[in-house]
A and B are shown apart, each in its own frame.
Chain A
């Protein structure tokens, strides 16, 4: 079974631009969560989607948004990019909404660099 895939793997943007990242969960998984990883802040939760609905959201500004499609694929969008948005963005999928009994499987991440 294929794992979680994220595209693109690397991205370079300039300040003020917007970016869209894509995540394809493991086949059959319906829940997708997004995390931001930076050297300064570590791993922080962005949001979680299940059955095309946002079920949970972290403490990020409204510039960060996401959506989930009927095939469970998810996209996240960051508008008006800032230098501090440079990070590794990780997507994780699980069969159902994540809990101690539904393990989250992580993708390799998308490395975003904002110049």
Chain B
């Protein structure tokens, strides 16, 4: 079955530091990959996505590249801010149709808490 593995947190950084959160996946076929962010007391927000190998998703200074050869989708940001403090989830979606064995539901990693200190 599908699975997503993320680095355990919390990750604590100083403001303006470089951020990397590692994510690797196991899936059959060619999944789409996502990063979601959850701020305290809120639901999940889509941060970025990539639908095929070598695609780079980017948003709000965050980037992640779909690496099929290493089955990875690491999240990076060059300079974090205090407002980036949140929990980050890596997820995948099987592109297959349910009646052909694919599942459209999202499979999430365990989440990585990021704490940015001023």
Contact = CB atoms under 8 A, between A and B. Distances in A.
Interface of A: 4, 33, 35, 42-45, 48, 55-56, 58, 90, 92, 97-101, 103-109
Given A42-B111, A45-B107, A99-B95, 6 more contacts: A35-B108, A42-B108, A97-B104, A100-B51, A104-B106, A108-B41
Q: Which 5 A-B pairs have the closest CB atoms?
A: A100-B32, A106-B43, A45-B105, A43-B108, A106-B44
A27 to B, nearest CB: 17
Interface residues of B, number: 24
Contacts, number: 60
A58 B2 CA distance: 13
Contacts of B32: 99-100
B105 A48 contact: yes
Given A42-B111, A100-B32, A56 B44 contact: no
Contact of B43 (A42, A48, A90, A103): A90
A51 to B, nearest CB: 14
A108 B40 CA distance: 10
B46 interface: yes
A100 B103 CA distance: 12
B57 to A, nearest CB: 11
